[in-house]
Amino acid sequence: MVLPLTPIRFLYRAAELYESKAAVISGSRTFTYAEFAERCERLASGLGAAGVKPGDRVACLCFNSHQLLEAYFGVPMAGAILLPLNVRLAALELAQVLEHSGASLLLYDGEFAPVVEQLLAACPSLKCAVPLDEDSGYEALLAAGTARQIDWTGIDENSPAELFYTSGSTGTPKGVLLTHRALYLHGISVALLMPEGDRTVVLQTIPLFHANGWGYPQAAALLGATQVMVRRFDAETVFGLIEQHRGTYMCLVPTMAGTLLAAQGRERFDVSSMRRVLIGGAASSPELIERMEKAFQCECLASYGLTEAGPVVTVGRPNSMAAAASQAERYRIQSMAGTPIAGVELRVVNARGCDVPRDMTTAGEVLVRSDHVMAGYYNDPAGTEAALREGWLHTGDMAVWDDEGRIHIVDRKKDIIVSGGENIAPIEIERAIAAHPDVAECAVVAAPDEKWGEVPVAVIVPRPGRTITAEDILKLLKGRIAKFKMPRRIEFRDTPLPKTGSGKIRKTEIRARIQG
């Protein structure tokens, strides 16, 4: 018998091999793998009793918690499709996602009760909303279910298990469908990135409503690792959880890393248990990698991916020869998007679809073919056809690559600034500015210009208590980037840049303000 590939198998394997081990730590609650698996089964059964049918979409509006992690397994166990919602979206945006997806049931944190009232009134497809607070409707939902192992052998591995709406940082969000098979194979590939095996204690710092939680809900279950839920990202909270639970692994976006590095009093915490930090979601710099490694005394690697790819595509892990190179060269390699993870193939192509030279100079669009690319966009055949062509996912990301197959992302197609006929990648300028020790955040966008068509404008947030001038930035950039790439205007602000729920900077908002 050919068995279907589904991440549900990971959970049952862990429940058998690690029955009494902590599976999830969420606030004051700890559940063993046996308890966690039983709660997932009860959720699946309870959803069925509540009228959820196979193929229905079950939405979650909540921060990282054991309930959301239970939904990662319990909802697919019920044959339904999990739809984690971005908690940073406005009520109108949430309503648009719920209407487009046709979600029939919503699980939500109690603090979102006022928003949920609006959603129930605005979304005819939404029949039921269940609060997740302790001693709430969610526990009653589980109590109504039965703890009985489901027959996963009958699952169609090509059926969708999860639905994620893209962050919208570059345009209108689209619903990405990920199948049981894709999640299973992606989980295996991501598990290979976790060097501690079943001794891994992973801090779930990335919101699980974003891009399949970067694959760690499934990968951690496969390994029998412990998952520590970080409800809201806060530097002191993260340091405290690492010390308390001896965390060994976490993922960050660059803004999160910067927050940890800038935190006052971080030396008070023992973070010596940490073994690897992965940074993705936006470009990293060699300086950031170096500072993180020195702060946590562990390996720090950049990574690249996108929701449509499951999401992880590459990791900046040096090969054996590169690892023996100079420290500066190693940091440079580890800050790159890097080489494909297991099960992924890449191309970098020009506008004619031909592979560009591996010279670290010629840019092209990144194409991905893998075991875990999305099945397509939900209810969007035109969008699916545009993204998936001739067996390859067209990412819209521009990169250069070297003769060893390492890619270096230079920017999004839509973000490229065309100034006087020259292409300028904002990400290159941002990386250079980020090297300044007093810069907390920066974004570079295009502004219209009568002479050049477009020119780059830098928006910078200094670190707390620090003062930077435009002259300081221009002095830093001189000799690092070409003269035509220099920002024609530099703005400073004392509040954080607008971000998506996953921590990506919303350049669309910054661009709209700059362009008037």
Is residue 341 within 8 Å of residue 313, measured between CB atoms? Answer: yes
Fold of 416-515: GMP Synthetase; Chain A, domain 3 (3.30.300)
Q: Is the pLDDT of residue 509 over 70?
A: yes
Sequential DSSP letters for 23-64 = EEEETTEEEEHHHHHHHHHHHHHHHHHTT--TT-EEEEE--S
167 token code pair: 């962050």
Cα angle for residues 426, 427, 431 (degrees, 5° grid): 120
* Rama region for 479: left / alpha / beta (φ>0; ψ in -120 to 50; rest): left
Tell how many helices (H) and how many strands (E) occur in the chain.
17, 26
HSE of 507, CA atoms in CB hemisphere, 13 A: 23
331 token code pair: 């940091």
pLDDT of the residue at 502? 62
How many other CB atoms sit within 10 Å of the CB of residue 148?
Answer: 11
pLDDT of the residue at 167? 58
Cβ-proximal residues to 128 (8 Å cutoff; 6+ apart), any chain: 50, 51, 104, 105, 106
pLDDT of the residue at 303? 96
Q: What is the mean pLDDT of the chain?
A: 92
Mean pLDDT across the stretch 450-478? 90
- The residue count of the chain comes to 516
139 or 414, greater pLDDT: 139
Q: Is the pLDDT of residue 282 over 90?
A: no
The band of 18, judged by pLDDT with boundaries at 50, 70 and 90, is very high
453 or 209, greater pLDDT: 209
Q: Is the pLDDT of residue 479 over 50?
A: yes
Q: Is the pLDDT of residue 397 over 70?
A: yes
What pLDDT digit, counting tens, does each position of 32-75 carry?
999 999 999 999 999 999 999 999 999 999 999 999 999 999 99
Mean pLDDT across the stretch 446-460? 87
Q: Is the pLDDT of residue 378 over 90?
A: yes
Q: 263: which DSSP letter?
A: -
- Domain range annotation of the chain: 416-515
CA dist., res. 252 & res. 160, Å (int): 27
pLDDT of the residue at 501? 63
pLDDT of the residue at 483? 83
Q: Is the pLDDT of residue 273 over 80?
A: yes
What pLDDT digit, counting tens, does each position of 298-349 carry?
999 999 999 999 999 999 998 876 666 789 999 999 999 999 999 999 999 9
The band of 297, judged by pLDDT with boundaries at 50, 70 and 90, is very high
Q: Is the pLDDT of residue 170 over 50?
A: no
Give percent of the chain above pLDDT 90: 78
Mean pLDDT across the stretch 256-284? 93
CA dist., res. 5 & res. 153, Å (int): 9
Per mean pLDDT, which range of 254-258, 396-400, 442-446 is the poorest?
A: 254-258
Q: At CB < 8 A and 24+ separation, what contacts does 481-486 make?
A: 481/428, 481/429, 481/432, 484/419, 484/420, 484/422, 484/424, 485/424, 485/428, 485/429, 485/456, 486/456
Mean pLDDT across the stretch 189-213? 96
What pLDDT digit, counting tens, does each position of 120-167 carry?
999 999 999 999 987 779 999 999 999 999 999 999 999 999 999 985
CA dist., res. 53 & res. 49, Å (int): 9
Mean pLDDT across the stretch 240-268? 94
* Rama region for 490: left / alpha / beta (φ>0; ψ in -120 to 50; rest): beta
pLDDT of the residue at 323? 60
CA dist., res. 375 & res. 76, Å (int): 16
Mean pLDDT across the stretch 406-412? 87
Interstrand relation of 392-401 and 175-179 (parallel, antiparallel or unpaired): unpaired
pLDDT of the residue at 260? 95
What pLDDT digit, counting tens, does each position of 97-122 carry?
999 999 999 999 999 999 999 999 99
Any bridge partners for residue 61, and if so which? Answer: 108
CA dist., res. 469 & res. 95, Å (int): 43
What pLDDT digit, counting tens, does each position of 417-432 carry?
878 766 687 888 998 8
Tokens 């090969």 — which residue?
A: 319
Is residue 254 within 8 Å of residue 202, measured between CB atoms? Answer: no
